[in-house]
Amino acid sequence: MRLIGLNREEIKTAIKEGKVTIAVYGIGKMGLPLAAVFADHGAKVIGVDINEKVVEMINRGENHVKEELGLDELVRRNVEAGRLKATTDGVWAAKQADVMIILVPTLTDERGNLKFGPVYDVAEKISQGLEKGNIVITEATMPPGTTESLAQTLEKSGLKLGEFGLAHAPERTMTGTAIRDITGQYPKVVGASDERTLEAVIGIYETINRKGVIPMSSIKAAEAVKVFEGVYRDVNIALANELAMWCEEYGLDALEVFQAANTQPYCHLHMPGAGVGGHCIPVYPWFVINLAKKTNPRLIKTAREINDSMPHHVVGLAVKALNEIGRPLKGSNILVLGLTFRGGVRGFIKAAAKPIIDELKEWGANVYAYDPLCTPKDAERFGAEWKEDFKNIDAIIITADHREFEDLDLKELAREMRSKVIIDGRNVLDLQKAEEHGFVYLRVGTLNLRQP
């Protein structure tokens, strides 16, 4: 069905009546929820992935993204209804589809340089099935200008841009809440290659998003939105970390100060912590830094340096806390709680635990690790020994805010541990309760050293 030229209401009707086929390239943590939501609103959806096991699971009606509440039922229902299927054949999917959405992971190096290979591979496959009136949409976050650079590859189809539409509609989701986010937590941002494509893309996303759509003046502007969201968070976290370290110097409790300051509606201080991980926030600032030619984004660079330094700062807190009880870090038994980059998600990209474990070992500490979402093999990859109890442990360092850690029995910990030291890098425990049980308890922004 040719969508370019139809107005948004006509497109919404066509989707709901099952007349539109959408191919979603990349059916992982973000792609599968999107595919299932479109199918649930009436579209015929083909999920495309290079992982044969994932494709087989989906075609059986099984969800492989277990962190997403409600996705099991959404996948099962739409596979059974014949609205959702999966394939490894990206060319075949393009030949069937009216809309192709690219949501493959955008891999980067440490400096945010994008590895374009997977994105261009998908564009190459789409070009072999692209027809007049089709629309290609990128959802993966990319440096401004990247989506438009795909036009040359797509034009291998023999069509010129304008005969097919090109758009960017950045995903604005978090693992664990993707369905909620896709269907109405935030409005959808879209930018397109021309007005007719923009009108069509607005209709596509208004079908599934209760909060509506924000149309942008260009594809680059839409790309910049998601990048700037990530930069804002990174800079804000860096500010919180810097102010928290200042509070340590002057004997203040940063969380107490932040909570009071944030009651003023113009103040939005984030939470300080052990470091910033994941494939989003630590990466997007480099898109801006690397693209800058005449400007020098000093603030953004400094924020990255501060946030990357926080694992080292947390190790420094461990040294101070152990010194308080007369124990050196060398030879101490340290248990790192949390290998993932944040709570509730099994992801390891730029997780704070890795540099913390590495530095602890450089100090000569005996390092153990535990994470409720991980395995002993994961701990081994991080260079630590797996440990599920607290016997003979001198200090605990919390590096991920898993819900399970909020429920730690401090009385039992005090009984099991050899030395009572807690470094809370994610602010999950209560300072007063920890001190009541005799712990030397430090967190970023609270350097409250007392003899237990």
User: Active-site residues: which are they?
Assistant: 226, 280
Q: How many CB atoms lie within 10 A of CB 64?
A: 18
Here the tokens at position 5 are 């030229």
The CA distance from 279 to 108, in Å, is 9
Rounded to the nearest 5 degrees, what angle is found at the Cα of 257, between the Cα atoms of 251 and 262? Answer: 165
Alpha carbons within 13 angstroms on the beta-carbon side of residue 279 total 18
Question: Cβ–Cβ contacts within 10 Å for residue 162, how many?
Answer: 14
**Block residue for tokens 């009880």:** 325
- Tell me how many degrees the CA angle 200-184-41 measures, rounded to the nearest 5: 55
309 burial (CB, 10 Å; 0-12 / 13-18 / 19+) is: middle
Q: What single-letter amino acid sits at 110? A: E
Which letter does DSSP use for residue 449 in this model?
-
64 φ/ψ sector (left φ>0, alpha ψ -120 to 50, else beta): alpha
Whole-angstrom Cα distance, residue 65 to residue 80? 18
For β-strands 165-168 and 188-192, DSSP reports them as antiparallel
List phi, psi (to 5°) of 86.
-135, 155
User: How does DSSP classify residue 260?
Assistant: H
Hey, which residues does 337 pair with through a beta bridge?
370, 398
Q: Are strands 84-87 and 99-102 parallel, antiparallel or unpaired?
A: unpaired
Q: Alpha-carbon distance 249 to 378, whole Å?
A: 36
Q: How far apart are CA 205 and CA 211, in angstroms?
A: 10
Closest CA to 34 of 82, 99, 96: 99
Alpha carbons 226 and 221: distance in angstroms, whole number: 9
Place of tokens 């040294």: 319
